[in-house]
Amino acid sequence: MIADMAERMFSEKVTQQTRSRAAQGEWQAALWQLIEEAGLPLAMVSEEAGGFGVATDEALSIVRIAGAHGAPVPLAETIMANWLVAQAGLPVSTGPQTVVDGTGLTLSKDGQDWMVSGTLNAVPWGRNAERIVSMLAHAGVSFVVSLPTAELTFKTAENLAGEPRDSTEINLVLGADQLAEVAMPTDTLTHTGALMRSLSMAGALETVLEMCVSYANERVQFGRPIGKFQAIQQYLATMAGEVAAARAAAEMGVDAFDGAPAPLLVAAAKLRTGEASQTVAALAHQVHGAIGYTQEYALHHFTKRVWSWRDEFGTERDWSRTLGKAALADSSGNFWDFVTGTSGKGAAA
């Protein structure tokens, strides 16, 4: 039901004009209001904490659907932020939020006061977020911090797709409702973020494939649709295989989510969806030719997104190294067992 509701909403409300206005810097307030009214920001929060209380796979399907429509709002970030603060017993919110991995931030204590200071770069949707959520360590203990943005000044910047990736200086004293200890390692944030980006990329790639198939059947050259030419058929077949692999990898990471993401399966998901993004986006522009590069045509909104997302929360090189180290450290001594066995749910080396 949640997936069907999200699909209908984004199909009706996220248009080419919506994405174009957002890419020019316009915050889509009306779209976010609908998202709030539907309760989607609380999809991963339990009923006890004020959320939906649905299964994780159902909640995370929203992220893939939003990616498939190129929804120009921080829905994935907000869902993730609310999940993190709920794990720490902090207040949840339906307002727009964002998450950062904590690089560049320091958590310290001055008497009874907790303080966060440092510099944040490339903050997703920073200028539009009501708070920034992160995980930081202090004296060997993990904390979730919820930083209000009202007093922050952002230096604005955008990624390739025109999504805000801002920077800011932070020097805040935290209240009791803005920090709490949590029984999870700080890299849980990176793993969860990588899973979110994998789902978003998988959804966007499905749309790219649909656009290519439709265009190949409609575009006539030399008296017949270009989809009848063997070269184009080969492109489409390659893309279909990559898209299927990307979605399978992302959903594998979702299926293994048991209170927290499974590090090695997240690594595989982010790596595979990133690789698929490179291949599918390149072939999509080959199929479309010149029209695929125009502002008026929707393709670039999706290819620019996957090109940008593949470098966030770890690149393919980062996750390849994670998997390689884990394989070398595996106690079974059998690479096939490492690949096909249940050890993928364990902690990365």
Instruction: Based on the fold, state whether residues 107 and 246 are members of the same structural domain.
Output: no
Say if residues 146 and 114 touch (Cβ distance below 8 Å).
no
Instruction: Judge whether residue 339 has pLDDT over 50.
Output: yes
Contacts of 305 (CB under 8 A, 6+ apart): 67, 70, 161, 163, 200, 201, 204
Structural domain count of the chain: 2
Distance CA 68, CA 64 (A): 6
Q: How far apart are the first and last CA of the chain?
A: 38
167 three-state secondary structure = strand
Encoded tokens for 286: 């080959």
Q: Mean pLDDT, to the nearest integer, of 169-190?
A: 96
Domain end point (choices 148, 181, 214): 181
Encoded tokens for 171: 């020097």
DSSP 43: T
Instruction: Based on the fold, state whether residues 123 and 199 are members of the same structural domain.
Output: no
Encoded tokens for 267: 């690594």
- Contacts by 27-32, CB closer than 8 A, 24 or more apart: 27/128, 28/72, 28/73, 31/71, 31/72, 31/73, 32/73, 32/96
Domain end point (choices 181, 206, 236): 181
The parent domain of residue 339 ranges over 187-345
pLDDT at res. 160: 96
Instruction: Based on the fold, state whether residues 253 and 120 are members of the same structural domain.
Output: no
Query: How far, in whole angstroms, is CA 80 from its chain's centroid?
Result: 9
pLDDT band at 342 (very low <50, low <70, confident <90, very high): low
More confident residue, 212 or 221: 212
pLDDT at res. 336: 84
Instruction: Based on the fold, state whether residues 14 and 132 are members of the same structural domain.
Output: yes
Which of 105, 121, 43 has its CA nearest to residue 77? 43
What is the CATH number for 69? 2.40.110.10
pLDDT at res. 349: 38
CB-based burial, 103-131: b 16+ in 10 Å, e otherwise: eebebeeeeeebebeeebeebbbbbbbbb
pLDDT at res. 348: 42
173 three-state secondary structure = strand
What is the CATH number for 330? 1.20.140.10
Domain end point (choices 138, 153, 181): 181
Instruction: Based on the fold, state whether residues 175 and 251 are members of the same structural domain.
Output: no
DSSP string, 104-172: TEEEEEETTEEEEEEEEEEEETGGG-SEEEEEEEETTEEEEEEEE-TT--EE--B-TTS-BEEEEEEEE
Distance CA 55, CA 58 (A): 5
Residue position matching structure tokens 């045509």: 297
Instruction: Based on the fold, state whether residues 154 and 302 are members of the same structural domain.
Output: no
Distance CA 180, CA 22 (A): 34
Give the model confidence (pLDDT) of 231-285 as tens digits: 999 999 999 999 999 999 999 999 999 999 999 999 999 999 999 999 999 999 9
Instruction: Based on the fold, state whether residues 47 and 159 are members of the same structural domain.
Output: yes
What pairs with residue 221 in β-bridges?
Answer: 224
Phi, psi for residue 237 in degrees, rounded to 5: -65, -40
Instruction: Based on the fold, state whether residues 191 and 172 are members of the same structural domain.
Output: no
Instruction: Based on the fold, state whether residues 198 and 278 are members of the same structural domain.
Output: yes
111 three-state secondary structure = coil
Instruction: Based on the fold, state whether residues 125 and 48 are members of the same structural domain.
Output: yes
Instruction: Based on the fold, state whether residues 193 and 176 are members of the same structural domain.
Output: no
Distance CA 22, CA 168 (A): 21
Instruction: Judge whether residue 89 has pLDDT over 80.
Output: yes
Average predicted confidence (pLDDT) for the chain: 94
Say if residues 154 and 130 touch (Cβ distance below 8 Å).
no
Instruction: Based on the fold, state whether residues 12 and 113 are members of the same structural domain.
Output: yes
Instruction: Judge whether residue 330 has pLDDT over 90.
Output: no
Query: β-strands 165-174, 113-124: how paired?
Result: antiparallel
